[in-house]
Amino acid sequence: MYDSQYQETGNGPDDFWRGFFSRRQFLRNAAILAGGSFVALACGPEATATLAPTQAPAATQVPPAAAGAGVSVSPDDPRIEAGPVEFQSNGNTLLGYLSRPKGEGPHPAVLVVHENRGLLPHFPDITRRLAVEGYAALAVDLLSRVGGTSSFAGPDEMRTALRSIPRDKFLKDSNAGVAYLQSQSFVQRDRVGAMGFCFGGGIVWLMAVSNPELRAAVPFYGSAPPLDKVPNLQVPVLGIYAALDKRIGAGVPDLEKALKDNGKTHKFVTYAGANHAFFNDTGRRYHPEAAGGAWSETLGWFETYLKN
């Protein structure tokens, strides 16, 4: 059972929502899209526990977009193919955004799971960044069952809509995204990983302890999975955390102990001076140095477990 509480976040300016596109536009115009047992299924404010800061590694590949822009790889980049897709999950049509390197492949692949406000432009951009690095990448819209992200006017409506979806559907639809990637001729079906952010980071933890099809997982500041499920983990996990994110950080010591006690392959990296949602370059909490370091760590993890 999921935790019923959704924490809120405010990591995007109000004017980010002006001129938001319709569902039809989402499906027909890829260029427009360029412009957490116990998981708190959201991004949110800090509680009272603390997490000791650690030194962030040097940022060697800082995502180049400035805060507020949200795009660092264009949909028209000649190195990739990118655009909206639809696929099925137990008879339900899901919306997503798929990017891949030019050429037949097959390529390793990554599922991208968004934050608690739906499939906003930042997440398709992440798929394009991954495509430039040699991965097919799919961002699934977990609001698909209620019309899709573009059906809602802003973050409050999106969070309310997420609450209306039976929470087991999030995991089912994310796993359907993995299956969709595996069905593509340009994907190495035995080389599929997942990464997710806040709400999506919690989903990726749940996938990691339940989906044997995954080869690697990178949850960014995601709520810990039920600790009694850790023995089921067969996926190497890179956990990305922020030293100022005390709510999520409070669960890290017990999770890390469970992983160590069960001999699970994992690495946790905590970034000093960074807060929850620091990777999102459209938000107020964007931390370029931490984001660059985390991106380098992520690429290194996927290189090791998906490419090698």
Distance between first and last Cα of the chain:
36
Per-residue pLDDT at 3: 28
Q: Would you state the pLDDT for residue 70?
A: 53
Residue 245 a catalytic site member: yes
Contact status, residue 239 vs residue 223, Cβ threshold 8 Å: no
Is 3 marked active-site?
Answer: no
Instruction: Report the distance separating Cα 288 and Cα 191, nearest Å.
Output: 29
Neighbours of 275 (CB within 10 A): 22
CB 38 within 8 A of CB 224: yes
pLDDT tens, the chain, 308 aa long: 222 222 333 333 222 222 223 333 333 333 323 333 333 444 643 322 222 333 333 333 434 444 445 568 999 999 999 999 999 999 999 999 999 999 889 999 999 999 999 999 999 999 999 999 999 999 999 999 999 999 999 989 999 999 999 989 999 999 999 999 999 999 999 999 999 999 999 999 999 999 999 999 999 999 999 999 999 999 999 999 999 999 999 999 999 999 999 999 999 999 999 999 999 999 999 999 999 999 999 999 999 999 99
Q: Which helix (H) or strand (E) holds 240?
A: strand 237-242
Given 198, 266, 281, 287, the catalytic residue? 198
Whole-number pLDDT of residue 203: 98
Domains and CATH numbers, the chain: 14-42+69-307 (3.40.50.1820)
The one-letter amino acid code at 80 reads I
Strand partners, 178: none
Is 4 exposed, middle or buried, given 0-12, 13-18 or 19+ CB atoms closer than 10 A?
exposed
Count other Cβ atoms within 10 Å, centred on residue 164.
9
Please tell me the predicted confidence (pLDDT) of residue 71: 64
pLDDT number for residue 98: 99
> Which of 245, 266, 281, 287 is an active site residue?
245
- Return the pLDDT at 33: 33
Dump the DSSP string for 179-235: HHHHTSTTEEEEEEEEEEETHHHHHHHHHHTT-TT-SEEEEESPPPPPGGGGGG--S
Tell me how far apart the alpha carbons of residues 91 and 151 are, in angstroms, rounded to a whole number.
20
Instruction: Give the whole-angstrom CA distance, residue 178 versus residue 219.
Output: 15
166 preceded by cis ω (within 30°)? Answer: no
Measured CA to CA, the distance from residue 11 to residue 89 in angstroms comes to: 30
Nearest to 16 by CA among 113, 122, 87: 122
Q: What CA–CA distance (Å, rounded) separates 72 from 24?
A: 24
Q: Which of 107, 122, 266, 276 is catalytic?
A: 276
Between helix 168-182 and helix 199-208 the angle, nearest 10°, is: 70
What residue has token string 């949200």?
70
pTM of the model: 0.81
Annotated catalytic residue 198 = yes
Q: What angle do CA 138, 140, 270 make, to 5 degrees?
A: 80
- pLDDT number for residue 167: 85
Residue 43: what pLDDT? 61
